[in-house]
A and B are shown apart, each in its own frame.
Chain A
Amino acid sequence: MKTLAELQAIKEKMVGQMNVREGDKSVRVVVGMATCGIAAGARPVLQTFSEVVQKNNLSDVAVTQTGCIGLCQFEPIVEITKPGEEKVTYINMDADKAREVAEQHLMRGIIIAEYTVNNSTLVK
């Protein structure tokens, strides 16, 4: 290793991954991973969120799972909580939507209303 930049490059590659092991994060992404969620395809959703968060070093975001919240017909469900903001619940997610939500909501603060549970066209 001849320069600090080389060290920095490795560090940047690792820092997102090491962040998974840190506690005390204020933003939470919770993916429903009960049988209903998994059957509806929650696993790639969870994985996608986790990847986007790690690749972009979103050090304040925790991506975790939860059980069934009783809205099985809308699974995969993802809830995003930011401090001081109301919880946003996204429904009928898939990996592509998850990427979009992660990039817009988590990184830019833009809620994609179209995918949320409040969108009356989805909830019939």
Chain B
Amino acid sequence: MFRSHVLVCGGTGCIATGSENIINALNEEIKKAGLENEVGVVRTGCFGLCSLGPVMMVHPEGCFYSAVDVKDIPEIVSEHLLKGRIVERLLYRETVEDGGIKSLNNTAFYKKQFRIALRNCGVINPESIDEYIGVDGYQALGNVLTSMSPEQVIQIVLDSGLRGRGGGGFPTGRKWDLARKLVPDADQKFVCCNADEGDPGAFMDRSILEGDPHALIEAMAIAGYAIGATMGYIYIRAEYPIAVKRLEIAIQQAKDYGLLGEDIFGSGFNFDLEIRLGAGAFVCGEETALMISIEGNRGEPRPRPPFPAEKGLFGKPTILNNVETYANIPQIILKGAEWFTSIGTEKSKGTKVFALGGKINNTGLVEIPMGMSLREVVYEIGGGIPDGKKFKAAQTGGPSGGCISVENLDIPIDYDNLISIGSMMGSGGLIVMDEDNCMVDIAKFFLEFTVDESCGKCTPCRIGTKRLFEMLEDITAGNGTMEDLDEMVELCEYIKNNSLCGLGQTAPNPVLSTYHYFKDEYIQHVRDKKCAAGICTELTQYIISADKCVGCTLCKKVCPVDAIVGEVKQKHVIDQSKCVKCGVCVDACKKFGAITKG
């Protein structure tokens, strides 16, 4: 029994910054100090503060150390763990207050968060089923199987108002209800989990899988009981090796404990789970393509209806929910629908996890109650924009979504509000952009992604997105015309209305939304041949100011393509026909500031 627990983040972010080495060093130093029976080291899931990694929490004091280096470990062990003297210089600066420390939950980053789906991430060891049980794990499954009917389970989920967290926002309870009732005499039904998180910049599901895999298993078993399925599949990207490993361990532990398998809790209910690895095709996040991929075929969508609730995996009634949606289920069962509906807005209940990225100080993972404004998320939880730059827009929903501009900073974030302003909740990627981002370039970036990921089955998506991308290339290269802009919008509408699946139907959203809010920028690219942010290189020039140039030749020396001409103590000039716009001359001329981008 340990008197002190050291929780080290084992999420992908912190592992990338070296938390495995920290764990090894900790174990070694703890052993050296003879503390191995007193202090336990636990590898947990993501704490959320990925930008400060590697992070660790030391209990019982509740000290949160950030940006820890292996070199710091001997000091942490000999000072803190042995003598109880907190190593102040390593404390997360937000937790230091008037000589004392305040709880991590009271810092700006955590204070406004509300954790349901992430409640165990950074708290328990995801590879220990006992720890999960210690925090009420499998209690919901136990209650469901021993004292509730499937109809009652579905009713609670319906009453909770839970909507799909993968982005679509379809009411989860209705999905379950349809799967239970549509084909009453089905000999088999399936429960599937969509863990094919593919949006650029999104890592909510990964963090839940890595930090709390048993919550998913428990929820899928509950769903199986509710709809009458005995088999479930988790479709997960092969690019998430840590998540896959922890999920495998968790499934094995659940089987060993009889929480998966036959006659669970003596109720006569059987349920088994298997993992299916996706090979990284974005389209396999679409429900019909995902099921076809599980069946072992090439992942391509098919027209609906029939919907999966009627005819899904292997032609049987199937439900598919995303990881975050499932992660809410055990809590809803335990605490009741009323508790869940007390959180959020009228039509969007509960919380949403966002992966904060881009131009923001606290890059990481946050879970907020629905209805919070983007301003609170960016400026309070996210700590604002680095270097005092101005907020320009936030992109939600990845390649299917749109942007939220300054004028909508204060609208409450929920499914319907985001759609009303031309964006969408999406799975939860939230990329913040500042004045240095070019919105046409952003649209081009997402379009390039969908061109790559279009499966090619239907023409509007396969060829339409390609043509759309070429238009954006022309515009950013200064070859666009005003007529192109009209045609671009027309093509967007065509792709939206005629594509077979969600991938194509939503692919033009980043273009339409940036065009709606930043039309000036498009026009500037086309008419003035200028990119104000200086991102589109073909529309950007570097110019040496004759007033400021002293002829030091520094810029000439660093120019990789010899585009700068001029003698010592003479004014220098950039030959625009040779310049590749790499910008190294600007850095070289920092002292005089004679070179500017325009």
Which residue of A has the minimal Cβ distance to B133? A10
**Contacts A64-B84, A67-B84 given: A51-B1 contact, CB under 8 Å?**
yes
**Option from A11, A14, A23, A50 in Cβ contact (under 8 Å) with B105:** A23
Are the C-beta atoms of A18 and B134 separated by less than 8 Å? yes
**Contacts A7-B142, A43-B38 given: A2-B258 contact, CB under 8 Å?**
yes
Are the C-beta atoms of A47 and B3 separated by less than 8 Å? yes
Which residue of A has the minimal Cβ distance to B42? A21
Within 8 A of B (CB), among A1-29: 1-4, 7, 10-11, 13-15, 17-18, 20-21, 23-25
Which residue of B has the minimal Cβ distance to A68? B83
Given the complex, which residues of A lie within 8 Å of B130, measured CB to CB? Answer: 10, 13-14
Given the complex, which residues of A lie within 8 Å of B263, measured CB to CB? Answer: 2
**Option from B37, B61, B124, B139 in Cβ contact (under 8 Å) with A18:** B124
Are the C-beta atoms of A4 and B142 separated by less than 8 Å? yes
Are the C-beta atoms of B1 and A55 separated by less than 8 Å? yes
Chain B CB within 8 A of A117 CB: no
Given the complex, which residues of B lie within 8 Å of A15, measured CB to CB? Answer: 134
Are the C-beta atoms of A1 and B134 separated by less than 8 Å? no
B292-331 near A? 1/0 per residue, CB < 8 Å: 0000000000000000000000000000000000000000
- C-alpha spacing A69/B131, complex, angstroms: 36
Are the C-beta atoms of B131 and A62 separated by less than 8 Å? no
Are the C-beta atoms of B62 and A23 separated by less than 8 Å? yes
B169-213 near A? 1/0 per residue, CB < 8 Å: 000000000000000000000000000000000000000000000
Query: Smallest CB–CB gap between A9 and chain B, Å?
Result: 10
Are the C-beta atoms of B84 and A14 separated by less than 8 Å? no
A20-44 near B? 1/0 per residue, CB < 8 Å: 1101110000010111001000010
Given the complex, which residues of A lie within 8 Å of B7, measured CB to CB? Answer: 21
Given the complex, which residues of A lie within 8 Å of B264, measured CB to CB? Answer: 1
**Contacts A23-B103, A38-B82, A67-B85 given: A3-B2 contact, CB under 8 Å?**
no
Given the complex, which residues of A lie within 8 Å of B60, measured CB to CB? Answer: 20-21, 25, 62-64
**Contacts A18-B135, A38-B83, A63-B60 given: A1-B259 contact, CB under 8 Å?**
yes
Band of interface residues on A: 35 or more
Given the complex, which residues of B lie within 8 Å of A81, measured CB to CB? Answer: none
Given the complex, which residues of A lie within 8 Å of B62, measured CB to CB? Answer: 23
Chain A CB within 8 A of B138 CB: yes
Given the complex, which residues of A lie within 8 Å of B143, measured CB to CB? Answer: 4
Query: Smallest CB–CB gap between A113 and chain B, Å?
Result: 26
Q: Which of B38, B59, B84 has the most CB of A within 10 A?
A: B84
- C-alpha spacing A18/B123, complex, angstroms: 9
Are the C-beta atoms of A1 and B131 separated by less than 8 Å? no
B56-86 near A? 1/0 per residue, CB < 8 Å: 0101111000000000000000000011110
- The A-B contact count (CB < 8 A) is 96
Are the C-beta atoms of B1 and A50 separated by less than 8 Å? yes
Are the C-beta atoms of A46 and B3 separated by less than 8 Å? yes
Which residue of B has the minimal Cβ distance to A52? B1
Are the C-beta atoms of A33 and B84 separated by less than 8 Å? yes
Chain B CB within 8 A of A66 CB: yes
- C-alpha spacing A23/B62, complex, angstroms: 7
Chain A CB within 8 A of B466 CB: no
Chain A CB within 8 A of B257 CB: yes
**Option from A2, A54, A62 in Cβ contact (under 8 Å) with B266:** A2
Given the complex, which residues of A lie within 8 Å of B142, measured CB to CB? Answer: 4, 7
**Option from A3, A25, A33, A55 in Cβ contact (under 8 Å) with B82:** A33
Band of interface residues on B: 35 or more
Are the C-beta atoms of A7 and B5 separated by less than 8 Å? no
Given the complex, which residues of A lie within 8 Å of B4, measured CB to CB? Answer: 20, 50
Chain B CB within 8 A of A65 CB: yes
Which residue of A has the minimal Cβ distance to B4? A20
Which residue of B has the minimal Cβ distance to A10? B133
Which residue of A has the minimal Cβ distance to B254? A1
Are the C-beta atoms of B5 and A21 separated by less than 8 Å? yes
Are the C-beta atoms of B131 and A14 separated by less than 8 Å? yes
Are the C-beta atoms of A17 and B2 separated by less than 8 Å? yes
Given the complex, which residues of B lie within 8 Å of A20, measured CB to CB? Answer: 2-5, 59-60
**Option from A11, A35, A47, A62 in Cβ contact (under 8 Å) with B134:** A11
- C-alpha spacing A58/B139, complex, angstroms: 22
B222-249 near A? 1/0 per residue, CB < 8 Å: 0000000000000000000000000000
B137-150 near A? 1/0 per residue, CB < 8 Å: 01100110010000
- C-alpha spacing A122/B257, complex, angstroms: 53
Chain A CB within 8 A of B265 CB: yes
Given the complex, which residues of B lie within 8 Å of A64, measured CB to CB? Answer: 60-61, 84
Given the complex, which residues of B lie within 8 Å of A49, measured CB to CB? Answer: 3
Are the C-beta atoms of B139 and A7 separated by less than 8 Å? yes
- C-alpha spacing A21/B63, complex, angstroms: 11
Within 8 A of A (CB), among B1-41: 1-5, 7, 37-38
Chain A CB within 8 A of B136 CB: yes
Given the complex, which residues of A lie within 8 Å of B123, measured CB to CB? Answer: 21
- C-alpha spacing A7/B137, complex, angstroms: 9
Which residue of A has the minimal Cβ distance to B7? A21
Are the C-beta atoms of B84 and A11 separated by less than 8 Å? no
Given the complex, which residues of A lie within 8 Å of B105, measured CB to CB? Answer: 23
**Option from A4, A14, A31, A65 in Cβ contact (under 8 Å) with B265:** A4
Which residue of B has the minimal Cβ distance to A61? B60
Which residue of A has the minimal Cβ distance to B139? A7
Are the C-beta atoms of B3 and A50 separated by less than 8 Å? yes
Q: Which of B60, B61, B84 has the most CB of A within 10 A?
A: B60
Which residues of A line the B interface, CB within 8 A?
1-4, 7, 10-11, 13-15, 17-18, 20-21, 23-25, 31, 33-35, 38, 43, 46-47, 49-51, 54-55, 62-67
What would be 26 A-B contacts, judged by CB atoms less than 8 Å apart?
A: A1-B258, A2-B258, A2-B263, A4-B143, A4-B265, A7-B133, A7-B142, A7-B265, A10-B133, A11-B133, A14-B130, A14-B133, A14-B134, A18-B134, A18-B135, A21-B59, A21-B123, A23-B62, A23-B105, A47-B3, A50-B3, A50-B38, A51-B1, A64-B84, A66-B84, A67-B84
In the complex, given contacts A33-B83, A64-B61, A67-B84, what are 17 additional A-B residue pairs having Cβ atoms less than 8 angstroms apart? Answer: A1-B257, A1-B258, A1-B264, A2-B263, A4-B142, A14-B130, A18-B124, A20-B2, A20-B5, A21-B123, A23-B62, A31-B84, A46-B3, A50-B1, A50-B4, A63-B3, A64-B60
Which 5 A-B pairs rank lowest in CB-CB distance, beginning with the nearest?
A65-B84, A14-B134, A50-B3, A2-B266, A1-B258
